[in-house]
Amino acid sequence: MTTEIKKKKISNTNVFDETWSNPMKKPYLEKIVLNIGVGTGGEELERAAAVLKSISGKEPKKMLSKKNIKEFNLRQGRPIGVKVTIRGEEAEKLLKRILIVQNNRMLRKSFDNYGNFGFGIVEHITIPGVEYDNLIGIWGLDVCGRIIRPGMRIRYRRAHRAKIPKHHYVSRDEARYFLEKFFKVKIVEKIEVEYF
């Protein structure tokens, strides 16, 4: 009985490898987006932008408020956060650096059924290569990634836009297996915070 279960488990992991032999089915990391929501503009927003620039080496983009919310003193069109998008090989290198903070672990519930995943970092100074700066302080940030297959561009291009069939999206299990195989990520149910 146990040998049958083992055989099934082995065959399940090889299912993705078999489909990935087709170059149009092989997934890849499209991008990583780092995001800090500040809530206000001014000096704090500039500090958050400096944090993202020190991590990624790229110029971050300011995000504008879409609504008027009187309680939070938000007005439509005002900057409230910053984000930076990294693609290609740079995204892969950055993700490997950031995963060190999580001890190469990721929560099972961090994935959706379209190849997207995300997690948070409490203190940006825990990322290797980032040093503490008195003027900037310590910031938390969100990390979101996207795994896709070749050909997904037809859904977002301007001319001759077309629908993508459901089987061409990267599923939740396939995204987990992709990160386990290429980024040595361990998928866990719960991450315990270690205090020093």
Averaged over successive runs of 10 residues, the pLDDT of the chain (196 residues) comes to: 44 74 94 92 90 94 88 84 96 95 93 95 92 89 96 93 93 95 93 59
Q: Could you give phi then psi for residue 185, rounded to 5 degrees?
A: -85, 140
Look at residue 117 in the predicted model and tell me its pLDDT.
Answer: 97
Q: What Cα–Cα distance (Å) separates residue 18 from each residue in 15, 113, 181?
A: 5, 20, 14
Question: Do the domain assignments include residue 194?
Answer: no
Q: What CATH number is given to the structural domain containing 150?
A: 3.30.1440.10
Look at residue 41 in the predicted model and tell me its pLDDT.
Answer: 78
| Among 101, 93, 193, residue whose Cα is nearest residue 145 | 93
Question: Do the domain assignments include residue 1?
Answer: no
Instruction: Give me the number of domains the chain comprises.
Output: 1
Look at residue 70 in the predicted model and tell me its pLDDT.
Answer: 81
**In contact, 86 and 77? CB cutoff 8 Å:** no
In what helix (H) or strand (E) does residue 8 lie, and over which residues does it extend? helix 2-19
Question: Do the domain assignments include residue 11?
Answer: no
Question: Do the domain assignments include residue 165?
Answer: yes
Question: Do the domain assignments include residue 30?
Answer: yes
Q: Which residue range forms the structural domain that includes residue 125?
A: 20-188
Question: Do the domain assignments include residue 37?
Answer: yes
Question: Do the domain assignments include residue 144?
Answer: yes
What is the identity of the amino acid at 195?
Answer: Y
pTM of the model: 0.85
Look at residue 116 in the predicted model and tell me its pLDDT.
Answer: 97
Dihedral (CA of 89, 91, 93, 99) sign: negative
Question: Do the domain assignments include residue 5?
Answer: no
